[in-house]
């Protein structure tokens, strides 16, 4: 419960320290962890309470996770990446052709795709 009680402070401190250009649309997610333990029945913070907090902060995505079993971990990361990229201007990204044309990266792709 202590972690949940600190969410507001941590979120505000992050926004102060990081100074994102659009703090109202910064891609946060909230994770409820250890849902693998007795089916989540011994949880300290209810799913309803966690979702209510997310709704009060502009509908932050919420995921019930288990690092041990990998439940929703990848989904949470994909969600935050998708939201982060959605907020970035397209001109900040290199086209894939530029990556493949870079001699300094040739060894990376070669090592990754040669067996």
Quote the pTM value.
0.66
Domain ranges of the chain: 2-89
Q: Residues 35-89: pLDDT tens digits?
A: 777 766 777 888 899 999 999 998 999 998 887 887 888 888 888 888 888 766 6
Q: Residues 81-109: pLDDT tens digits?
A: 888 887 666 665 556 565 555 454 444 44
Q: Could you tell me which CATH number the domain at 2-89 has?
A: 3.40.50.300
N- to C-terminal Cα separation, the chain: 48
Contact 61, 78 (CB under 8 A): no
């Amino acid at each position: 419960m202590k972690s949940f009680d600190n969410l507001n402070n941590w979120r505000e401190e992050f926004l102060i320290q990081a100074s994102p250009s659009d703090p109202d649309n910064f891609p946060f997610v909230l994770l409820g962890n250890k849902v693998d333990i007795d089916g989540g029945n011994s949880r300290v913070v209810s799913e309803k309470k966690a979702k209510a907090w997310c709704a009060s902060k502009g509908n932050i995505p919420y995921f019930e996770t288990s690092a041990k079993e990998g439940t929703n971990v990848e989904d949470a990361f994909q969600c935050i990446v998708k939201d982060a990229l959605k907020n970035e201007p397209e001109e900040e990204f290199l086209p894939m052709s530029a990556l493949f044309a870079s001699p300094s990266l040739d060894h990376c792709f070669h090592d990754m795709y040669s067996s």
